[in-house]
Structure 1
Amino acid sequence: MVATKYLQMIFPVFNTKRTKEIFGVNPTITPVREEATNVKIHLFSYNATEFTEKHFTKVEDCFPFSNTSNITWINIDGLRKEDVEKVCQQFKIHFLLSEDILSVGQRPKMDEVDDVMFCLLNMLYTNKDAAVETEQISIALGKNFVISFQDDADRDVFDSLRSKLRVTGSKLRQTGADYLCYSLIDMIVDHYFVVMEKLSEQIEFIEEEIIRFGNARSLARINSMRKELIVLKRNVSPVRELVNGFIRSDNDLLEEKTTKYFKDVYDHIVQATDLVENYRDMMTSMQDLYLNKANMRLNEVMKVMAIVTCLMAPATVIGGIFGMNFDSIPAIHNKYGFLIAVSLMLFIPLWMIRIFRKRGWF
């Protein structure tokens, strides 16, 4: 960790391609989603006393669980248009929602269509370059079922939730599908703080680098971090409105006692939004700090050059006077004239240094 930290000081960070990735989102252009090569389906069917866990590769294998009295959670990793349309048709999810599921770069939102509550938000991660990566998560809540759609089959934050479902008598097993939906959203929101903690470490490193060095690399890191905070804000801030939609909803799919849990998620997302704003303010302050330090360094250089110029002025004047081509110059033929001139050239600057220090000029 220490070695990496100081290697980052040696090599500059310039990533202009990231700017295009962040700002190259055009909602008027229909994005093309690549079809997943592999689809993994993880199914849980449970109640207080019964529990079933299965893994499938075909969505049709899940259809027998669409009309059971148990709570069913289907997590689909890897999206194909045909599979999504089949699932939506089987579980009576509106085709507009299936379009949202297959969309790319959607803003986090919450909808209620027919007998299904739907929300879309992004799961956040950080890669080895401290860049924020996003994965779109779509969650459909219906009567006795929750279906979640993911792009990446290799990572998510739901492992602890799966472990709780396997425990007989856990709160998840005692509650309905609305509580399961809350738990999924809560885990995604809680993971935002993990991402922000990693970004805060990078911000601390940048601040230390500015104070110690304050070179062009520092400015590049500031710009790079500001881009990542834009991504963070774009994905975190709308979730506040999403969660508020669940709180204000009077849909029969949500039990009244579940509302207080969504209020807890709302508090967390408000806190996360405030932290993002604080990070952005810190980056702005760091940029000002960098510019102020650069100006101070320039002022110090100019002050040193001005002092050197002042100290050299007496020698220049004395040398210029006795170097003039006049026939009669006082003491021009004095045998001690050279020593007197050199002594004056040394004594006057020393006397000037004493005066400057006495007045606090350096």
Structure 2
Amino acid sequence: MPLQVMAYNIDEAIYIPLQDLDKYPDHVKWISLSSPAEDEINSIASLLDLHPLVIEDMMQGEELPKVNEYPKYTFIITDILEFKEDELIANKLYMVLGKDFLMTLTEDIDTIRFVQNLVVSKARNIIEQGPDFLAYTFLDRGVDKFYPVLDEIEDIVMEVEDLVIEQPDKWILNVMTDVRRDLLIVRKSAWLIREVISSLMRGSSPFITPRTVIYLRDVYDHIIQTMELVETYRDILVSSRDTYMSSVSNSLNEVMKQLTIIATIMLPLSFIASVYGMNFKFMPELEWEYGYFAVLGFMILLTAIMIAYFRKKKWI
């Protein structure tokens, strides 16, 4: 998505060239970047007098959510989560908030277009406010996108909870491991974003107005709800894992019980067979006409008695 610059106020919302920023002193300027070229970042850095550390953070793209204050602007980093092809992705959102401008850098095109539509349609709560409210809109949108992620995780967690009882197969353990990893990503992002919003609410930035702080409180409440949902799903997942391990243990115990019963039945039969397999010269029973049938019948009777006893004890 190419570099876009919008200037807006209560009367209009227009796209302007980057070099014309100073020509609209009574407008809020929004500079939107996505997958920018290095020369674009350098041009904006020169125009906004960005600190080298800010440029470095944006170029590396691996910084954790945080808020840094500079004399002419506030630098904000946050995450926007989404699932892409069943993989949880944390898109970075970089914002440089000044007195009359906001610069954003993110790969989340959906969020950019969402905010653009609000500005172009002249949503009153945006065009009547300063750039800090635009920054709030991005933060609010980012937190709102946690919910579809959590909805998808919830579906998987609920399905796993049922399957560990009905069909405790090994692949379920792999699913639980993947979900646990996703929950850790969500929890980490939510915790750091909470700290970002809390810092802005406490007045760390001179570019955040008291009116916007009220809206940030609502975002803060939402991120707290998100963290509570994460903890709930983690608890369910831990319980499901315990249930799975218990089911596997019970299955193993059942197999061992069956093998033990078989071994117990075979033990006296093997003893009897081994006695008559000894090569003694004088064994009177060997000469008996019905000796074979008598021993075989006794073995069958003994087996039946043992099985009846095991059933009475409810071992089988």
Report the TM-score, using the length of structure 2 for normalisation: 0.89
Q: 2:106 aligns with which of 144, 150, 153?
A: 150
1 CA distance for matches of 2:175 and 2:122?
A: 49
- Aligned-pair CA distance for 1:138: 0.4
User: Within 5 Å, which residues of 2 pair with 1:179-190?
Assistant: 179-190=133-144
When residues 135 and 361 of structure 1 are mapped into structure 2, their CA distance, relative to the original with a 3 A threshold, is same
Corresponding residue of 1:274: 228
| Conservation of the 8 A alpha-carbon contact between 2:161 and 2:236 | no
Q: 2:94 aligns with which of 117, 138, 149?
A: 138
1:203 paired with 2:157, answer: yes
Q: 1:90 aligns with which of 22, 47, 66?
A: 47
- Aligned-pair CA distance for 1:203: 3.0
When residues 331 and 169 of structure 1 are mapped into structure 2, their CA distance, relative to the original with a 3 A threshold, is closer
SS in 2 for 1:49: coil
- Aligned-pair CA distance for 1:353: 1.6
Runs of 4+ aligned residues of structure 1 deviating over 4 Å after TM superposition are none
| Conservation of the 8 A alpha-carbon contact between 2:81 and 2:91 | yes
User: Within 5 Å, which residues of 2 pair with 1:41-60?
Assistant: 41-53=3-15
Flag structure 2 segments of 5+ consecutive residues without an equivalent: none
Corresponding residue of 2:200: 246
- Greater helix proportion: 2
| Conservation of the 8 A alpha-carbon contact between 2:79 and 2:193 | no
- Aligned-pair CA distance for 1:178: 1.4
User: Within 5 Å, which residues of 2 pair with 1:298-337?
Assistant: 298-329=252-283, 331-337=285-291
SS in 2 for 1:40: coil
1 CA distance for matches of 2:285 and 2:249?
A: 48
| Conservation of the 8 A alpha-carbon contact between 1:246 and 1:259 | yes
Deviates more, 1:301-310 or 1:205-214: 205-214
Deviations 1:214-267 (A, max 9, x none): 344333333333333333333222111100011001644222121111111111
Corresponding residue of 2:64: 107
1 CA distance for matches of 2:87 and 2:238?
A: 19
RMSD of the alignment, in Å? 2.4
SS in 2 for 1:102: helix
2 CA distance for matches of 1:169 and 1:280?
A: 38
Q: 1:291 aligns with which of 237, 241, 245?
A: 245
- Aligned-pair CA distance for 1:89: 2.5
Deviates more, 1:331-340 or 1:266-275: 331-340
2 CA distance for matches of 1:217 and 1:251?
A: 49
Matched letter for residue 75 of structure 1: S
Number of paired residues? 315
1 CA distance for matches of 2:150 and 2:171?
A: 22
The alignment-based identity, stated in percent, is 25
Report the TM-score, using the length of structure 1 for normalisation: 0.78
1 CA distance for matches of 2:82 and 2:205?
A: 32
Corresponding residue of 1:358: 312
Flag structure 1 segments of 5+ consecutive residues without an equivalent: 1-38, 55-60
